[in-house]
Every structure is written in structure tokens, then in C-alpha cells.
Amino acid sequence: MSMKLSTLAGIVGSDGHLSKKESAIIVVNKDKEFLEKEVIPLFKELTDKKISISKSSSGYGDYKYLLRVWDKKLQIKLNKIYGIPRGKKSTIKLSSIPQREMMNFILGWIAGDGSITVDRERPKIEIWSKDVNLIRVFEKFLSNKKIDSLIFKASNNRFILRISKIDSVKKFSRYRIPHPAKARKLKCLLAPADAGFSTS
């Protein structure tokens, strides 16, 4: 149960928020498959409260889905254990999270606000956040797992933690990213390397 809570916390921390005035936990995403196959089942494991999902326009001809769950006890856990603030997010303090659950939190964060891309025909995994201290926590944890990563500052006041060395990408791929499309893409990009072809 705690591993699933850590995964959900990563998703909410990166791609959602906790309501300041209500007990609502909110996840916002454009990928309906991700919400239906990963986020909703996680919520069902952790709460018996009603799950509401609605579709809204972004104003640019695009749309997104808003998933809401009103559960005061679950909201308190996400706030107290994982440091996700109520209202507008600023910084997240992970002081209470056990190290054995950190990878689940990181995987949830990638599902919410990470990307699987290609750099010079090599697959890379990127984790985004405005909180550089959180990114440093991720970097240190991954380093202890022998997964190399580098921190970059983006132009929009966000920071990127990038895993780009092929050996480190392959090590990370042993963990399941709780996002169907991103997991499929990583598997596809790693296929040449797994078949013995160079990706360098």
C-alpha cells in the first residue's frame, strides 16, 4: 500500500495539486489512457471516495482532463508524508519518505512530468521540476542506484534531471514507469540496444 501511495504522491506532486480550501486531490493531464489505466486504479486502491473526471479546453484548441477525489485523510497523508503543499506548489519536502519508496515517487513524478526522448539517436529520460532541491534529491538517490544523471536549468525557470548514458537508461528501464505511452516509448527506443546494435 505504501509503495502505491508513493507512486500516487509523485504523480500528484508533479502533475496535480492539493486544494487549499477543500479536501480535493487533483490530477491534470491530457493523456486519458494514463488516467484510466494508472491514476484511477491507484486512487481506487487508496480510497473509497468517488472519483470525478471532466474534460476542459485549454483555450488553444487543445484539451485536458481534470481528475478529482475528495478525501481529507488521503490529502493529509500526501501533505504530511510527502510534503506536497496545499494550494499553489512551491517546494516539496521529502523528509518523511522512506528510501525504499523513493523510486516509486520518482517513477510517479516521471509519469506526471517527465519525458522519454531521443538525443542523437540515443534514448534519454528527463525529469522536470521548478524545485532544484527536489531534483538534487532525485540525483543523489539515482546515483546510489548506480544510475548516472545530470542537472540542467531550462529557460522557463525549471530544472531538468537527465539520464542519457545508455547503461544508465537501461538500468532505469528495469523499473516500470506508470504511464503506458512513456513506457512503450522507452521500450521501443531501447530495442536496438537490446538487440545488440549501437545507439551511440
User: Predicted confidence band at 148 (pLDDT cuts at 50, 70, 90)?
Assistant: very high
DSSP character at residue 85: P
Our measurement of the distance from residue 31's CA atom to the centroid of its chain's CA atoms, rounded to an integer in Å, reads 13
CB-based contact 12:92 (threshold 8 Å): no
Q: What is the pLDDT of residue 123?
A: 94
- Mean residue pLDDT of the chain comes to 90
User: Predicted confidence band at 119 (pLDDT cuts at 50, 70, 90)?
Assistant: confident
The x, y and z cell numbers of residue 113, run together, are 512530468
Question: What are the beta bridge partners of residue 68?
Answer: 26, 52
Q: List the single range of 18-27, 57-66, 78-87, 130-139 with lowest mean pLDDT.
A: 57-66
Q: List the single range of 108-112, 116-120, 168-172, 191-195 with lowest mean pLDDT.
A: 191-195
Looking at the predicted structure, is the pLDDT value of residue 200 above 60?
no
Domains of the chain: 2-88 (3.10.28.10), 103-194 (3.10.28.10)
pLDDT in tens, 157-170: 899 999 999 999 99
Cβ neighbourhood burial of 131 (10 Å; 0-12, 13-18, 19+) = middle
pTM given for the model: 0.90
User: What are the angstrom distances between the C-alpha of 117 and each of 10, 123, 192, 193?
Assistant: 20, 6, 15, 15
User: What are the angstrom distances between the C-alpha of 100 and each of 35, 151, 182, 186?
Assistant: 25, 23, 23, 24
Q: Side chain identity at 101, as an amino acid letter?
A: E
